[in-house]
Structure 1
């Protein structure tokens, strides 16, 4: 009974959270919840300073990041770079397995020099040794599986350097949310990038991001309709068949 009450309470809380969004568009995620906000606000962006005897910002030969010939690629915490996601993958896998085994063992007694017949005459209750032992067994197994995937995704998202590791590798994080009517599309990118893999355009491809986590989805009325209800999901987990 206690388990039923707990389950009903959980379902009621979930239903209340859904009912609170009825008639409203999905809310954006607060910018303060990510590492990007901390990297941009808690740590001030570095400012270029000119030491005595160095070139002025108007000099064509200045090596500063903001100069005409300077390196404008992201290199430190708080810098922004563009992540280019161009995925065009396809895979087809087909496997089949078949296995069969059969065996039989028989130990009939009548052929043992007439000894079983002699014993049968002295056994009570009509017992007999006509069949000493007989065992038969069969086993069959057959399995097949096919996987076919085709994925295409082309996106660009601005990401922030949230941490520079001691070895120089940059940890980046990017979030993009676009709301159209009552449907919110979300794009999340996280991972680690080497500074030398960032192009002169301050861009990096997804295939050069180590430990990459790319999520592209959404939430809203259409996404809710496409998902099975909570009760159906619970039944599919609990039901053993």
Structure 2
């Protein structure tokens, strides 16, 4: 087990050593849902080929016309996702509990029984006159506080990768920006209704069902901010 763990760490370390002095590479689009949706969908035909031509009319229903609807509605179309998150939450809880109890029972005289027990059974100094005397006390105090402030304003183009039977569209968007040796990436996925897409072919994140928004990065700066693999493993394995 120890040898296998050492080999695994060595392989991971060698893989990272190959990135020394190099900028982080972009994620390939080939093989992704966006790439498959783009290349597997034929160019849309707005008008029925058997219908009479209306190329000279400004009032045609074609998407390329002056008044045509250019909103995303089919697999392979592109729309803009507007992410404007400005959330602030503050929660504070205080819990207190206190309890005290006391019991006392005395038998100074009961048909001479306490005196007989004192003389024959109990040691010197012990008496049945104070038969029971107990007391208890408990105290609990708990405080909890949560304060969160998040602000994120981004725009990203997403691709319709699937049309569900109920008309809902599944979208997926990915954006990567590399500056020097740091790569920032934004990933958006979820389900949208065509009716929620605006005339500008945009949709806000709060209208995306099952939204998954990831904003992060990788590179030299992000690498320094993360603990080493060995430290992460010990944090998980060690019980103390």
**TM exceeding 0.5:** yes
Match of 2:5 in 1: 7
* Alpha-carbon distance between aligned partners in 2 of 1:45 and 1:113, rounded to the nearest angstrom: 109
* Alpha-carbon distance between aligned partners in 2 of 1:205 and 1:146, rounded to the nearest angstrom: 31
Match of 1:81 in 2: 79
The answer as to whether partners of 1:104 and 1:136 remain within 8 angstroms in 2 is: yes
* Alpha-carbon distance between aligned partners in 2 of 1:108 and 1:11, rounded to the nearest angstrom: 72
Q: Deviations over 1:179-217 (max 9, x none)?
A: 111111010000111101101111101111111110100
Match of 2:26 in 1: 28
* Alpha-carbon distance between aligned partners in 2 of 1:38 and 1:87, rounded to the nearest angstrom: 30
Question: What is the aligned counterpart of 2:93 among 68, 92, 95?
Answer: 95
Match runs of 1:42-53 below 5 Å: 42-53=40-51
* Alpha-carbon distance between aligned partners in 1 of 2:15 and 2:206, rounded to the nearest angstrom: 38
* Alpha-carbon distance between aligned partners in 2 of 1:234 and 1:60, rounded to the nearest angstrom: 66
Gaps of 5+ in 1: none
Match of 1:72 in 2: 70
Match of 1:54 in 2: 52
* Alpha-carbon distance between aligned partners in 1 of 2:234 and 2:86, rounded to the nearest angstrom: 36
Flag the 1:192–1:134 CA change in 2: closer, same or farther, 3 A: same
The answer as to whether partners of 2:47 and 2:62 remain within 8 angstroms in 1 is: no
Match of 2:225 in 1: 226
* Alpha-carbon distance between aligned partners in 2 of 1:190 and 1:142, rounded to the nearest angstrom: 44
TM-score by length of 1: 0.89
Match runs of 1:170-209 below 5 Å: 170-209=169-208
* Alpha-carbon distance between aligned partners in 2 of 1:47 and 1:142, rounded to the nearest angstrom: 70
Flag the 1:51–1:44 CA change in 2: closer, same or farther, 3 A: closer
* Alpha-carbon distance between aligned partners in 1 of 2:87 and 2:162, rounded to the nearest angstrom: 31
Q: Deviations over 1:72-113 (max 9, x none)?
A: 100011111000111111111111111122223344554545
* Worse-matched range after superposition: 88-97 or 217-226: 88-97
SS in 2 for 1:5: helix
* Alpha-carbon distance between aligned partners in 2 of 1:106 and 1:236, rounded to the nearest angstrom: 52
* Alpha-carbon distance between aligned partners in 2 of 1:212 and 1:37, rounded to the nearest angstrom: 20
* Worse-matched range after superposition: 204-213 or 39-48: 39-48
